[in-house]
């Protein structure tokens, strides 16, 4: 391996790569639907507060640990804690979590690519059939689509940080912004679109129950790519001159702006197609929304713009989601790859090939857990329900360990690395940060209520997921 650590070539490259990680399927579909069902403007307001008051300080913690240690998450936890075995365990969690989340994210990205392919091939009418999705996820063509997705991720990552990750982000992110804006403008000029906007924005505070609040925070946390070692890893590719606080604010702002804008595309589209819609009927899951509900809405466009026009809009939408998913997948897979390179001194190509192979096997097993293979479909049984391998990966890594990792990084930064070192590190490269109100806020919040909130979420998730009750009653 060459001596110097790879680096992002420019500040905007780092910001776009981090934003590329943050902007994903969660922003484009999960967020708009969550907001619409759970109080509209009231949800939006609460979400924005969570992003800036709770998630932003955690983001700063992750980026600064990476930049300071110049290592992958496992190496960073070890180095800063002087090889403490306890903290090494946190480091292991910070590389195992992204690896496993990458498995389920990969499966969904493969489906998106498949739908993109079908829409471009003129099969929108087939996609709009409610039975299609169930057949599609168990069809052999999944493996061909998987080969393409793996190939794209491999091509980007083998280029390294500057020529791979940064270049891809600089290309895909602006393209994503343009497509999103194009679709928003198109949708907003449809008949009855304003009813959707109204529904999305008018606040209904009565909907904000404890579980909605919990869900909004979890959504914000996931959306900003926290708890997955990604920002530690990306932070290790910037130098002391980089302004971490400003970059983090821009990443959080971009992510939130994209999520908000996506709502201006999804909800008006739904309302314009079906003015009588009762939002409680909207699909609970992003998966149901993307793969069953939306194709129907796209097909309905054929009355006004013809089948070709409708197929074009659908293709654009799936391309948009595909771009968002690819930059997230790249970022999450870079974490274990960087860890293997750093810890074992192997080449990037070797790390990619070996981890990639394990990942493909796990992704195939997950893809077979939707009925194809009995053992994988009923992989476990807890809290009164059968769980497929795919469900178990989501429950354990995404729902449970993610907030735990967030909790650990807060405690680590404040009590092990020490807040004075953390603050001094953030001041490097950021002129206005020292002594600012923001600095005080980040410091105090990470010492007090942020770890407390993450602890409550973690305990509650364990109670709900595995024991079937909520501490919120
Ligand atoms: N932030 C992504 C989203 O909103 C989530 C994610 C990031 C998933 C990185 C995987 C890797 O969809």
Query: Atom 3, ligand 1: which residue's CA is nearest?
Result: 24
pLDDT given at position 473: 63
Residue 1 has pLDDT above 50, yes or no: no
Cβ–ligand 1 contact at 254 (below 6 Å) = no
The residue among 428 and 3 whose pLDDT is bigger is: 428
Cβ atoms of residues 344 and 88 within 8 Å = no
The pair of three-digit structure tokens given for residue 411, joined into one six-digit string: 């405690």
CA distance 319 to 322: 5
Give tens-digit pLDDT for 142-174. 999 999 999 999 999 999 999 999 999 999 999
Cβ–ligand 1 contact at 256 (below 6 Å) = no
Give tens-digit pLDDT for 407-462. 999 999 999 999 999 999 999 999 999 999 999 999 999 999 999 999 999 999 89
What mean pLDDT is reported for the chain? 94
CA distance 352 to 334: 9
The model's pTM: 0.95
Please state the rounded mean pLDDT for residues 96-102: 96
Give tens-digit pLDDT for 296-306. 999 999 999 99
Cβ–ligand 1 contact at 26 (below 6 Å) = yes
Cβ–ligand 1 contact at 164 (below 6 Å) = no
What is the whole-number distance in angstroms between the Cα of residue 228 and the centre of ligand 1? 9
Q: Which residues pair with 380 in a beta bridge?
A: 387
CA distance 26 to 81: 33
Cβ–ligand 1 contact at 451 (below 6 Å) = no
- 11-467 domain in CATH 2.60.40? no
Q: Which helix (H) or strand (E) holds 467?
A: helix 449-467
Cβ–ligand 1 contact at 340 (below 6 Å) = no
What is the whole-number distance in angstroms between the Cα of residue 149 and the centre of ligand 1? 16
What is the whole-number distance in angstroms between the Cα of residue 222 and the centre of ligand 1? 6
Strands 380-382 and 385-387: what pairing?
antiparallel
The pair phi, psi for residue 368, each rounded to 5°, is -90, 0
CA 343 to chain centre: 26
The pair phi, psi for residue 231, each rounded to 5°, is -75, -20
Count the helices and strands in the chain (H runs, E runs): 26, 2
Strands of 325-463 (E only): list them. 380-382, 385-387
Placement of tokens 């981890």 in the chain: 355
pLDDT given at position 287: 85
For the ranges 130-144, 280-294, 378-392, 456-470, which has the lowest average pLDDT? 280-294
CA 421 to chain centre: 29
What is the whole-number distance in angstroms between the Cα of residue 192 and the centre of ligand 1? 32
Cβ atoms of residues 336 and 94 within 8 Å = no
Give tens-digit pLDDT for 259-286. 999 999 999 998 888 877 777 777 767 8
What is the whole-number distance in angstroms between the Cα of residue 331 and the centre of ligand 1? 9
Strands of 196-335 (E only): list them. none
pLDDT given at position 439: 97
Give tens-digit pLDDT for 316-339. 999 999 999 999 999 999 999 999
Probe ligand 1: pick from 20, 23, 24, max atoms within 8 Å of CB? 24
The band of 82, judged by pLDDT with boundaries at 50, 70 and 90, is very high
Give tens-digit pLDDT for 210-243. 888 988 999 999 999 999 999 999 999 999 999 9
Please state the rounded mean pLDDT for residues 66-94: 97
């Amino acid at each position: 391996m060459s001596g110097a650590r790879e680096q992002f070539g420019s500040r905007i490259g780092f910001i776009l790569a981090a934003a590329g990680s943050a902007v994903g399927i969660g922003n484009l579909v999960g967020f708009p639907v969550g907001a619409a069902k759970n109080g509209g403007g009231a949800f939006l307001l609460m979400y924005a507060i969570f992003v800036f008051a709770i998630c932003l300080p955690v983001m700063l913690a992750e980026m600064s640990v990476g930049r300071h240690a110049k290592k992958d998450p496992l190496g960073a936890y070890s180095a800063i804690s002087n090889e403490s075995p306890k903290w090494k365990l946190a480091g292991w969690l910070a590389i195992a979590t992204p690896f496993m989340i990458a498995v389920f994210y990969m499966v969904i990205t493969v489906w998106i690519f498949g739908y993109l392919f079908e829409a471009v091939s003129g099969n929108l009418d087939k996609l709009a059939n409610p039975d299609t999705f169930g057949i599609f996820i168990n069809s052999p063509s999944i493996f061909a689509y998987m080969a393409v997705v793996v190939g794209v991720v491999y091509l980007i990552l083998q280029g390294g940080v500057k020529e791979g990750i940064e270049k891809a982000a600089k290309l895909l992110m602006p393209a994503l912004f343009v497509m999103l804006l194009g679709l928003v403008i198109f949708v907003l000029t449809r008949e009855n679109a304003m009813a959707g906007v109204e529904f999305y924005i008018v606040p209904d505070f009565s909907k904000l129950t404890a579980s909605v609040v919990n869900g909004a925070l979890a959504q914000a946390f996931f959306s900003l790519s926290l708890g997955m070692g990604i920002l530690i890893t990306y932070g290790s590719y910037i130098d002391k001159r980089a302004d971490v606080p400003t970059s983090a604010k821009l990443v959080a702002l971009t992510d939130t702006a994209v999520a908000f804008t996506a709502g201006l595309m999804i909800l008006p589209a739904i309302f314009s197609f079906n003015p009588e819609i009762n939002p409680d009927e909207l699909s609970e899951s992003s998966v149901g929304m993307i793969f069953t509900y939306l194709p129907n809405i796209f097909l309905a466009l054929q009355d006004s713009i013809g089948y070709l026009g409708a197929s074009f809009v659908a293709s654009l939408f799936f391309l948009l989601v595909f771009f968002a998913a690819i930059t997230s997948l790249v970022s999450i897979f870079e974490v274990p790859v960087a860890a293997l390179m750093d810890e074992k001194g192997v080449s990037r190509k070797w790390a990619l090939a070996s981890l990639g192979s394990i990942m493909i096997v796990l992704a195939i097993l997950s893809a077979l857990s939707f009925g194809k293979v009995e053992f994988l479909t009923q992989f476990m049984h807890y809290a009164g329900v059968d769980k497929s391998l795919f469900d178990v990966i989501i429950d354990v890594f995404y729902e449970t360990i993610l907030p735990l990792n967030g909790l650990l990084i807060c405690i680590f930064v404040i009590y092990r690395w020490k807040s004075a070192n953390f603050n001094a590190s953030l001041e490097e490269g950021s002129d206005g940060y020292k002594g600012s109100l923001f600095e005080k806020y980040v410091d105090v919040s990470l010492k007090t209520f942020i770890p407390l909130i993450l602890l409550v979420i973690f305990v509650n998730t364990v109670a709900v997921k595995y024991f079937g009750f909520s501490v919120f009653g």
